[in-house]
Amino acid sequence: MAALNVGRLNRHFPERYLESLKALLAAVEMSLENYQLSYGSKLPDSVLCEPGKDLRVLGIGSGSGEVDSAMLKKVLQRHKTVYNRVVEPSGEMIERYKTLVRKDKSLGAVTFDWRQQTAEEYFQTKEDTKFHLVHAIHVLYNVEDQDATLRSIWEQLAGGGHMLVAMESDTSDWGKLQYKLWDEFGQGDRLKTSFRTSGDVKQWLDARGVSYVTSQDDININITECLKEESSEAGRMILDFLTKTPFVSNYPEIKSTALDFIRCNSSLVDDKVIFKLINEVVIALKK
Ligand SMILES: C[S@@+](CC[C@H](N)C(=O)[O-])C[C@H]1O[C@@H](n2cnc3c(N)ncnc32)[C@H](O)[C@@H]1O
């Protein structure tokens, strides 16, 4: 049973996933605001549209909109008006995003088109609109079929448009932990689970001869709670998130494999045990 759920936290246990995501975000050792704002500077200056037209942006899995709005502010420096379509299945997230937009007057030149849908539902509807920028920031772990989603994103990009995808890096310790757990306990097709990394996106682009640029940022996580003999609920949820496996603490073999790996690949900083994640942003231009 546990082996079947390895890497399947997001899809099989969405509520536990959301709780464990919150626990992970609370353990991040940097300002979330700085992380969110950093996406503005990642966008190339050359995101362009036809003169006199709105710049069209499509966000997949936009969440509560902090990262999106950093990117919207960047494109507003060069474009007078922006049309922004938001595809996000969670009603709660969309409400938070709308509140952010209402409060932030600097987004006044953006027309929002809210779509409360999963990427799968959205891409099933036939759409002719082409976008100058399509982004999916830490979302592709959640979709059913990553390849099909990348294909649909690519189809909705205008010629000269940019696709921006952020994922955990395949070269990070967290990426390596996921590959290790998959090798030892995984069942079926890894790409059908959420054990997906930026390496899979780069492979998808390589296979199609598409060139891209990438950038990486370290994100430190305080995992002290996970390593305590009697770990707290927060520690257990962080471990679920890192292993992408629901209630992993109930499965001693998987838990000890994960904890051994984490112990060997973490460092002690000011009484805190720190595990490093690497956020990789991949930007591809459609010619
Ligand atoms: C880790 S959050 C990232 C949110 C935002 N992009 C950010 O970087 O702050 C993942 C988001 O994907 C959304 N999501 C989950 N399943 C999805 C799906 N099948 N299609 C599109 N979005 C999905 C979730 O509701 C959540 O808002």
Q: What is the pLDDT of residue 241?
A: 97
Q: What is the DSSP string of 165-226?
A: EEEE-TTSHHHHHHHHHHHHH--S-GGGTT---HHHHHHHHHHTT--EEEEEEEEEEE-HHH
Q: Tell me how far the alpha carbon of residue 268 lies from the centroid of ligand 1, in angstroms.
A: 32
What proportion of the chain, given as a percentage, has pLDDT over 90? 89
Write the CA distances from 236 to 32, 41, 75, 244, 255, integer angstroms: 22, 35, 40, 12, 10
Determine the atom of ligand 1 nearest the C-alpha atom of 142: 16
Residue nearest (by alpha carbon) to ligand 1 atom 27: 63
Q: Tell me how far the alpha carbon of residue 13 lies from the centroid of ligand 1, in angstroms.
A: 15
pLDDT along the chain (287 residues), means of 10: 79 90 94 92 82 90 97 93 96 97 97 98 92 97 96 96 97 97 94 96 98 96 92 94 95 95 96 96 96
Write the CA distances from 229 to 12, 226, 249, 259, 276, integer angstroms: 28, 9, 12, 11, 22
Q: Tell me how far the alpha carbon of residue 51 lies from the centroid of ligand 1, in angstroms.
A: 32
Q: Which of 156, 154, 148, 140 is nearest to 284 (CA)?
A: 154
Distance between CA 163 and CA 287 in Å, rounded? Answer: 11
For 22, other C-beta atoms within 10 Å of its C-beta total 13
Instruction: Name the average pLDDT for the chain.
Output: 94
Q: Which residues have any ligand 1 atom within 6 Å of their CB?
A: 21, 60-63, 67, 88-90, 93, 118-120, 137-139, 142-143
For residue range 150-185, list pLDDT tens digits in order: 999 999 999 999 999 999 999 999 999 999 999 999
* Reported pTM: 0.95
Dihedral sign, CA of 177, 180, 185, 191? positive
Cβ atoms of 61 and 142 closer than 8 Å:
yes
Q: What's domain 2-169+188-218+278-285's architecture?
A: 3-Layer(aba) Sandwich (3.40)
Beta strand ranges found along the chain (DSSP E): 55-60, 82-87, 110-115, 131-137, 157-168, 212-222, 266-269, 272-285
For residue range 48-69, list pLDDT tens digits in order: 777 778 899 999 999 999 999 9
100's tokens: 């952010």
Determine the atom of ligand 1 nearest the C-alpha atom of 21: 1
> Domain-by-domain residue ranges, the chain?
2-169+188-218+278-285
